[in-house]
Structure formats: C-alpha cells, structure tokens
Chains A and B, each alone.
Chain A
Amino acid sequence: MNGTVSKLRIALLGTAALGLLAAPAMAEEELNALVWCDHTDAALIEPFENEHGVKVNLREYEGTGAALAILEQSRPGDWDVLVIDGIDVFRAVESGLLAPLPDDALPTADFFPEVVMAENNTKDGVTYAVTEKFGYNTISYNSDKVDAADMEDLSAAWSEKYDGRISIYDYYLPVMGLAAIADGIKTGDITADSLPKIGTVLGDMRARAASVAGVVAAQTALATGEVDIVVGGGEWLTAVLAEEQPELTWTIPKQGAVRWSQSIGVLTDSEKKDLALEFVKYIVSPEGQARLATSACFWGMPANAKAGSVLTDAQKKVLRWDDQPDYLARTQLYPAPDTDLDGEMQDLWLETLQQ
C-alpha cells in the first residue's frame, strides 16, 4: 500500500514538474503564417519573435491555388497571416479570406509609388493587403559568356545565337508577359485574341531552350554553366549568388520587362488579429523590409523606400537601388488574367512545353 502511495506521489510530483516545465512554452503566443520561402529566413523572423515574445510558425507554399486550398482545408483560426502574389489579392478578397487593414497603420506613403498598387490591394475603398516586396521577371545571364549588348534586346535572348543556352523560368504568367512585351503587347492588354501571337514567341523561346526550370533549378543551371541565360529571371535569381559569382547578372531590355510583387494581409478568421497586424507592420517597416529584401531564399526590392536607410551600400548595389526609377518606369505588372483567360494561358503554356 505504502509502495502504491509512494508511486502515486512520484507520479503526481512528476506531472506537476512537467506542468511547470511546460508552462512557459504553453504561455508563449503563436502566430501562424502562410508564406513564400523568403519569410522563412530566421534573420527576418527572430527580431519580431524576440520583440513580441511570440513564436511565428511559417508554412511555405508555391502557387496561389495551393495556398487557397490549404486555407479552405484548415479550420477557421488556424492561420493568421497570408503572403500572396500581388495580382491574386483579389482572389483571396473575393473568397472572404482577408480582413480589412487600417490604412493609418501602414506606411504606404513611404513606398515606391508604383508598387502601392491600391487597385490590387483594396476593394471598394477598403484595404485588404499591402505590397511588401517586388522585383522583375526579365533576363538573367552570365556576363562572361554572353554579350551584354545582346541582352538589351528581348528577342536576342532567344535568338539562334544562344540556341540551347537558355532556360525559361517555369511560371507561365511572367514568361507569357515577357513574350507579349517582346511582341509589343502590353501585359494589361492581353486577351484571348493575343494568345496566338504570344504563342508564336513562346514557341521560338521554347525551341531555343535547354530547360524550363523552377527557382532552384534555374539558379543551378545558371551557376553551373548548364545555361547562360534565364528568360524570366531577375534579381531574385542572381542576387543571392552575387558574392560568389558576380558574373551572373541581369538587365531590363529596351522593350521593358515584367514586374512581380507580393502582398501581405491578415486572415479574416484569425483569432490574433492584433498580433497579425503587428507582424504586417513589422514586415513593411524599414527594418523588416531590409531583412525581407535580402532574405536567404531570394532577394527582391522592398516596397518601402525607407528601407534604403537600413540596407548597406553593397546590398543596394546588388538590388540596383539607384536604377529603380528607370526600371519601374519601363516595366509592367505581370498579367492578371480572369479565370477563363488564365485557363487559356495555362493551356497554351502546357501545349508549348509539350511540343
């Protein structure tokens, strides 16, 4: 009997001790964010966690469709923050996934004006998301092996001279946007009628390409010399390699290029909206922006121009900070098709790849 009491006492003491040990962990608030890989850099997240005494759980995804599927399959409140392609904010808003954001909490007045993109991030005068990062889908190349002057003309990049030496970025919207620009069609004017012309350019590109590659594969191909040009590349592809391989560079050709952007918002069903908003404010603050811009996963321009005071000169040089006014003027946001056109563009893309 005594033995039993003793065992019970030990068990109770053990449970109490475990409870005490677990208490601080359980007390720590958690924030769940569905993000692109650039947000998973500890250098970006840890300062926020330390300042607020919270744990930020991050889950990466690729493709808006995948993110929306994850959200639909989750329980309400599972997710607090969403990072989403700038052109797809409306999809999340239409689905009722994003909560309104207070305009006065967001430093959009400090942003590069072209990337505030109120038409994307607001609906009926209500702000649902804020641009956090942008960059270009253009031409990345190896300056040791490619004539830089050639790269100033889009069509030269996929000319016979570079047959078998190019890779195409594996995402149909920016690449078809580039094809449209090469053919003199504005990305915002793409309709079903434009697709045959775009398809012809895409076919030329495909015929010259050694591969159609995602982010890592395109980086690997360029870095290992498998290809010398990546159509659809940009600072996001080569900036992280700038120190080791400065010959890998990028340019915006005379016809222009495509601009990408990503936005961040708070989810409607979040039970921690205040904390989620604090996270959004941190990300768009100059410090958060500088860290996001130079994330280990991929670099990109910060939306907030005040991040320039936090970034080093070397970092700004890699990001081509001083060229941004020119680049912003010469680039177009990548195509944002409606559902039907999106389907037709994807079909054209897959048909071209299967040729």
Chain B
Amino acid sequence: MRNAARQTLRGWGFTAPALLWTLAFFIVPFLVMGAMSLATLDGRTLVWGIRFDNYAELAGKAYLWRAVVISVEITLTVTIVSVLLAYPLAWIIAFRVPQRWQRLALLLAILPFWTSYVVRSYAWLLVLAREGVVNQTLMGLGITSEPITIANTRFATVTGFVHFFVMLLTLTIYANLIQLSPNYRRAAMDLGANAFQTFVHVVLPLTLPGIITGAFLTFVLCIGDYVTPQILGGNTELTVPQVIMVQLGRRADFPLAAALAIVLMGIVTLAYLACARWLRLDRL
C-alpha cells in the first residue's frame, strides 16, 4: 500500500514540472485572454467585465468575418498542397533513396529551415517580383511577353507557406513511412494487389496518422502566422493575425484582439476534433 502511494507520489513528481509549465504558460494565459475578450474599451480605458460586445462586433463587421474566411481558405490550401508535395518526397527518400544517402537527403530537404523565416519570406518576395527570377525566366522562355503579378497575391502567400511546411510534413511522413514493415507491401502484392492498390489499401491507411499529424501541425502553424501573409501577401487581403495586429498597433484594442484570438483557437479546436481519430494522443 505504502509502495503504491510512493509510486503515485513519484508519478506526480515526474509530471508536476510539465503540468506547472502547462498551467503557467498555457492555461493561465488562455484564461486571461478569454477574460480580456469579454472586457471592453471605454474610450481608451480598459473596462473588465463579462460582456460580449467584441463577439457582437466580430459578427457585425463583414471585414472581420472575411479575415476568418481568408485565413481558413489559405490554411486549407496550404495544408492540402503541402501534403500532396511532401508525401511523394518522403516516399522517395524512404523507399527509393539508398539507406546510406537517406540522412543526407533529409538534411537537404530541411536545409531551408536553417534560414530565418523573415529572410526566407523576403527572398521569396524578390523571386516572385515583377523583375524577379520567375518573371525573367517566363519572359526569357517566351511564355509571357511582360511581367505578371505574382508577388503580393494569395498565390505568393501560399507559395511561401508551402515551401516551409513541405519540409515539416516530409519529416513527419518520412518518420511514419520508415516504420512501415516492407512485409505489408509484399503480402499485398502476394495476394494479387497491384502497386496502386497496395498503396491505396495498405500503405496510405497505415501512414495516415503521420500525414494527419503533419497536416494538423501545418494547419495550426499556418492559421496563426503573421509574417508570411504580411510580407508576401502585400496586404491585398488580411488574415486574422494581421487584423489582430492592426487592432493592437495604434488603438491597443486588446479586447477585440483577444476575441479574434479566441475565434482562432476555436477553429484550431475544430481542426483537432476533425483529426483526433488519427492523432492518437491516447498513446501518450
């Protein structure tokens, strides 16, 4: 009995730092943000209370809803495109690249991670600019006669994001693929499945947890990102983080900014619920 109590105590001892960390840096800030979203501004003075004015404002202003829609559209596009590009890349590294070269291939795949995120975004801006590499190449090949607008568009934002998240997804999917015993594929082939059927009915379902984990991480990081749409999107349309920054920059409207942040949290929670079946957090 005493042994069991000691075990329990030891268990708490080991988990306490993580719990305290979560409490201090997630639960408490989240509660403060929730409380802030229910506060209001009287002129420039913050008035604490329980009012839903900020949520009503959010519902009543079309540009705020548009920001939510734009954020979700961009995030879904980025997530889908990144998965479609990362999966074949991870597949090639896992099954086509000789084992001794796999580490190098992975290193090359994540090389862009070594550059600053901001610098990388500005680099993309120069590449996609009217006089950038892409336009020069298109005109040089005679495909276009004059520069086309690529920078400062949603396409540019998605490109910048995809470049970043393909690396992340490649790692998570590769980690999943490499654990897959070749016997599964051999068994499927032995039972008469062709390569496509083997992939669809065996490999894909077994690697789905890796894909979903990477996709969920991509979704979370992308929807909350401010830098990429700000630099590459050219403010031609605003995402929720950009609108939050506008609320804070001059007017210091923390209550409305907090309400917008809660909406973002809500969207992320919905994404989690949609992915929960495959995320397998119960394994932890």
Q: Do A and B bind each other?
A: yes
How many whole Å from A117's CB to the nearest CB in chain B? 19
Contacts of B248 in A (CB 8 A): 63, 65-66, 69
Complex interface bits, B132-156 against A, C-beta within 8 A gives 1, otherwise 0: 1000000000000000010110000
Number of interface residues of A (CB under 8 A): 35
Q: Determine if A220 and B122 form an interchain contact, defined as CB atoms under 8 angstroms apart.
A: yes
The answer to whether B235 and A213 touch across the interface, beta carbons within 8 angstroms, is yes
Q: By the criterion CB–CB under 8 Å, are B250 and A164 in contact?
A: no
Q: How many B residues touch A, CB cutoff 8 Å?
A: 35
The proximity string for B residues 99-130 relative to A, scoring 1 for CB distances below 8 Å and 0 otherwise, is 00000000000000000000000100110011
B234 in contact (CB, < 8 A): yes
| Smallest CB gap from A214: residue in B | B230
Where chain A touches its partner, the secondary structure class is helix
B63 and A211 contacting across the interface, CB-CB below 8 Å:
no
Please tell me which one of the listed residues A64, A91, A221, A346 contacts residue B246 in the complex, with CB atoms under 8 A apart.
A346
Interface: A62 (CB within 8 A):
yes
Check B43 against A224 for contact (C-beta < 8 Å): no
Whether a CB of chain A sits under 8 angstroms from the CB of B86 is no
Cβ of A350 and Cβ of B151 under 8 Å apart?
no
B251 at the interface (CB under 8 A from A): yes
Interface presence of B237 (CB below 8 A): yes
* Bound-complex Cα distance A95 to B236 (A): 35
Residues 320-348 (chain A) with a chain B CB within 8 angstroms: 339, 342-343, 346-347
In the bound assembly, the distance between CA atoms of A141 and B223 in angstroms comes to 35
CB-nearest residue of chain B relative to A349? B246
A151-188 at interface with B (beta carbon < 8 Å): 164, 167, 170, 173
Indicate if A212 sits at the interface (CB-CB under 8 A). yes
Determine if A217 and B246 form an interchain contact, defined as CB atoms under 8 angstroms apart.
no
13 contacts between A and B (CB under 8 A): A63-B248, A66-B252, A91-B44, A167-B234, A210-B234, A211-B235, A224-B129, A224-B130, A226-B131, A346-B250, A351-B62, A353-B235, A353-B236
Shortest Cβ-Cβ A-B pairs, 10 listed: A65-B252, A211-B234, A63-B249, A212-B235, A211-B152, A354-B63, A225-B131, A63-B250, A354-B66, A351-B63
Using a CB–CB cutoff of 8 Å, the interface residues on chain A facing chain B are: 62-66, 68-69, 91, 94-95, 164, 167, 170, 173, 209-214, 217, 220-221, 224-226, 339, 342-343, 346-347, 350-351, 353-354
